[in-house]
Chain A
Amino acid sequence: MPDRLNHIGLAPADYRGSKTTLCAGCGHNAISERIIDACFELGLQPHRVVKLSGIGCSSKSPAYFLSRSFGFNSVHGRMPSVATGALLANRTLRAIGVSGDGDTASIGIGQFIHLMRRNLPLVYIVEDNGVYGLTKGQFSATADEGQKLKSGVVNQLPALDLCAMAIESGATFVARSFSGDKRQLTQVLKAALSHQGVAMLDIISPCVTFNDQPESTKSYQYVKQHESPVHDVDFIPYFNDITVDYEPGAVTDVRLHDGSHLRLRKLDRDYDPTDRRSALGLLSNAHGGEEVLTGVFYLAPEKPDFLAGLNLVPEPLATLPDDRVRPPQSVLERINASLA
């Protein structure tokens, strides 16, 4: 049987990448699979997508999805600035950035904050496992306070909450999900890819080699038992009809920039994902709790993104013809005259 095709006539195989070299069972591989699903289901043109990353296990993963897209594995913690330059040069492309908790929360925390502050239209994925995998298991800044390594080293510092930091810094789409939650993660990714602004996804992604002890909040067992979605996430792409089948008050329905809708069906918590203080309150109250909150915590789809504020010509700056980027000789003559 031939592969099913999406609305632009491509098969899931058209979104695949090279074979992964990460450990079997690594959460990052599941995330790569969900990125493939999301891009397929949205019908993105692979050549209209660019993939960027920093350094670490997470940052290797862009090689493992979308091999028909350009990729850039840059330097440790600095992918946000590379993405900024890339999108300034060609704002017509969709950009996916993949980072990890070491790449983001330690070495890259400065660029992370400024990326959120700029609201650059980039899907920024943190594959969050609480450890440095590629250097064999040192703690990262999202590791649990009091957690113990096999070697006996104890992490004495509190974990950074990247979602709260992103909201504080000006991000316009902030979510947490779990690499093992296939349905929620795919819906969140599709919504993020349809958002016009920075979308920060903190995705718990267990490290099966260095941080899968049952007591770690980044382990499969722990997250399976303690995942606490704040809502059911449904994404309705712009090319599908919206059917109204919910009771008023039970659902938050947010229209995204491209006409898609993100539908959040409230579970047992009362908070407003379009209100920053409400979202920050939710995250703050969850600190120290046993549960791992997931869902789209904050959304501000109307806020203009960084590129919109620059009043750029619609065409990519990178390939503007000579006569649009080099002023005529008369301009230089005028300048020379003013200096004579």
Chain B
Amino acid sequence: MATADLDVRRGAPAPKDRLVNDFSLQVATVNGSGSQSSNLVLLRTIFQMGIPVSGKNLFPSNIAGLPTWYTIRANKNHYVGRKKEVDFLVALNAETARDDVAALEPGAAVLYDEPLRLDALRSDLVFYAVPFDRLVAAVCPEAKLRKLVRNMIYDGVLAHLLHLDLAQLENALRRHFRKKPKAADLNWAAVQAGYEYASQHLPKRDRCWLEPMQENAGKIIIEGNAAAALGCLFAGVTVVGWYPITPSSSLCEYLISYLRAYRLDPATGQATYAVVQAEDELASAGIVLGAGWMGARSMTSTSGPGISLMSEFIGLGYYAEIPGVFFDVQRVGPSTGMPTRTAQGDVAFAATLGHGDARHIVLLPGTAGECYTLALAAFDLAEEFQTPVFVLSDLDLAMNHWIADPLPYPNGPLRRGKVLDAAGLERIGEFARYRDVDGDGIPYRTLPGTDHPAAPYFTRGSGHNDRALYSEKPQEYVANMDRLGRKFDTARARVPAPVLERDGAGEVGVIAFGSSHFATLESLDQLARQSGLHAAYLRLRAFPFNQQLRDFVARHRRVYVVEQNRDAQMLDLIRLELAANPGGPADLVSRLRSVRHYDGLPVDARSLSDEILRQEAQP
């Protein structure tokens, strides 16, 4: 890197030292100070300039007054996972400014509020002082409003320094404030003030540069939770029971707004859906199962603590065979943990949730687009397999903005599974609720209200035979549990298959899932470019696993399983899978190696590469 001999006090860096469309910008503010608008406008401007970009909000579990950081990463190679190093810092929080500056790599740039006097701290950084109070006072005579527009000043300053397209910036800003034209004008004035000031007083000395590209044509930018909510909308969800919890609340809040807009009967204005904010997560789960039993497409969204409370109901859903979709937007545990930080810590828990024997279908979206498509799939799978289905998202995926392809309209009808109506009961002759008629382990069901003498049955979480009658007979219990096992095996071929993202040289394979995806892609490129290590990459999208996983492990001598938890939970599930189904090379389990990241921050490529190289260096 050329940074060491860069003289930051002289003029602009030579073109060869510039970071064009390849840097990470961090805005450090106090939460509740209204910086989110400035950050989203900035993000959207870069998106509209055609440059691959992502935005990550690192916020405290608090409403106002604690430090918050927003990181925007622009990257021409589509590396939109977290980057460890910050190349450009906007320091507006007096409380964290010194630490934030101390953490920077030499050569980074700092835009700061003049009174903070940060420029004395280090001599190897580029500093830009901006008198925010003076600038905002000039554009906003009303003192009360200044706080709201003050942060927009830095968008203007950055427009000058980073070469933001001003027309796109104004477009993004007016779009952001489209319902408040007056606020748009005021904010735009603040942007202009920042821009003017920077043009006159801040000659460009740092390395970060934006240049328009054409990478985002036809793309959308969306949060994972919004995409998941759209999946529920187009899956035809009819009953929602939920209880607020970070980071899942916005999923149901988006869903409510979509349902209100698009699911009222055009003739009568009446709702084709029902949403209940329940008294707790126990009740949310009860609502989901009650509705699923009645034949509705029902769902809830929650996070780890909510899943803990729902475990009894989900066990009932498994054993009594009732459909329902459970979104678990994971955050850091155990217990309350770090509610606003990200993790993949519920993998093992979700896969086997409940007392006694239980195995659940778990879907693993890795992109915002998959938050949508796997939500659609979850409702079909829940009804086809008559069982609770988990969708495991996480805070990074769910609450941050991601570039995605336009969401595709679902093909074909809703798959409602094996439901017998009165005519179907006539046809079939004899109905037994839990009988394996088709040999796939999936029984037929009837819905309450069906007018046929054979239709009614008694649903229970207690032992039952194939006619749904209470039973404690050993052979009937075993027969039922084995059928449930067969049903789960049937699911292997029907859940979303893993994706072979990269084919490698045969020696090393990497397995990842969920929000680790983008960092993993970047890490593979780092390994190939910097160390000549060409690894293959299989991205898991569901549990139970299928043959592709076994084949992938068999094709590689060492297989790194990347996950964001301490205990290598996914590796454990893979190990069980490989051990439980013998066949192929005997040493498959011993090929697995673990790469874990669990500090609450989204995983970054550099950490993955370093850890893989460290383990590769060991015998």
Contact = CB atoms under 8 A, between A and B. Distances in A.
B262 to A, nearest CB: 4
Contact of A75 (B291, B312, B413, B458): B312
A50 B295 CA distance: 13
B270 A114 contact: no
A257 B316 CA distance: 35
Nearest to A21: B470
B279 A111 contact: yes
A47 B451 contact: yes
Contacts of A63: 458, 470
Interface stretch (B153-161, B195-203, B219-227): B219-227
B386 to A, nearest CB: 14
B293 A72 contact: yes
Contacts of A73: 458-462
A221 B238 CA distance: 50
B457 A85 contact: no
Given A47-B450, A71-B458, A326-B234, A312 B271 contact: yes
Interface string B230-270: 10011111110100000000000000001000110100111
B234 A313 contact: no
Nearest to B422: A47
Contacts of B313: 75, 78
Given A75-B316, A326-B234, A317 B221 contact: no
A44 interface: no
Contact of B449 (A47, A68, A78, A85): A47
Contacts of A45: 451
B274 interface: yes
Interface size class of A (residues with CB under 8 A): 35 or more
A69 interface: yes
Interface string A67-83: 11111111100111111
A62 B289 CA distance: 19
B286 interface: yes
Given A331-B262, A332-B234, A74 B449 contact: no
B414 interface: yes
B461 A75 contact: yes
B163 to A, nearest CB: 23
Nearest to A51: B458
Nearest to B447: A318
B272 A317 contact: yes
Given A86-B293, A89-B298, A317-B272, A81 B282 contact: yes
Interface in B530-562: none
A303 interface: no
Contacts of B413: 322
Contacts of B462: 73
B297 A316 contact: no
B456 A88 contact: no
B280 A110 contact: yes
B236 A82 contact: no
B239 A74 contact: no
A46 B274 CA distance: 26
B286 A89 contact: no
B456 A70 contact: yes
A119 B449 CA distance: 22
Interface residues of B, number: 71
Given A63-B458, A70-B459, A74-B316, A86 B236 contact: no
Interface of A is mostly: helix
Interface in A73-110: 73-75, 78-90, 92-93, 110
B271 A311 contact: yes
A340 interface: yes
B288 interface: yes
B236 A88 contact: no
Among A67, A89, A111, A329, residue most surrounded by chain B Cβ atoms (within 10 Å): A89
A141 B117 CA distance: 65
Given A85-B289, A317-B296, A336-B220, A312 B270 contact: yes
A114 B274 CA distance: 17
Contacts of A340: 218-221, 406
B383 to A, nearest CB: 11
A135 interface: no
B345 interface: no
B450 A319 contact: no
Interface of B: 218-222, 230, 233-239, 241, 258, 262-263, 265, 268-274, 276, 278-280, 282-298, 312-313, 316, 406-407, 409-410, 413-414, 447-453, 455-462, 470
Interface of A: 45-48, 50, 52, 62-63, 67-75, 78-90, 92-93, 110-111, 114, 310-314, 316-320, 322, 324-327, 329, 331-333, 335-336, 339-340
10 contacts: A81-B285, A84-B278, A89-B290, A313-B265, A318-B296, A322-B236, A326-B235, A326-B410, A331-B262, A340-B218
Given A89-B293, A335-B407, 18 more contacts: A47-B451, A70-B448, A72-B290, A72-B293, A73-B460, A80-B283, A81-B285, A88-B290, A88-B296, A89-B295, A111-B282, A111-B286, A325-B238, A325-B414, A326-B410, A326-B414, A335-B258, A340-B406
6 nearest A-B pairs in the assembled complex, by CB-CB distance: A85-B290, A81-B286, A325-B236, A89-B296, A89-B294, A318-B295
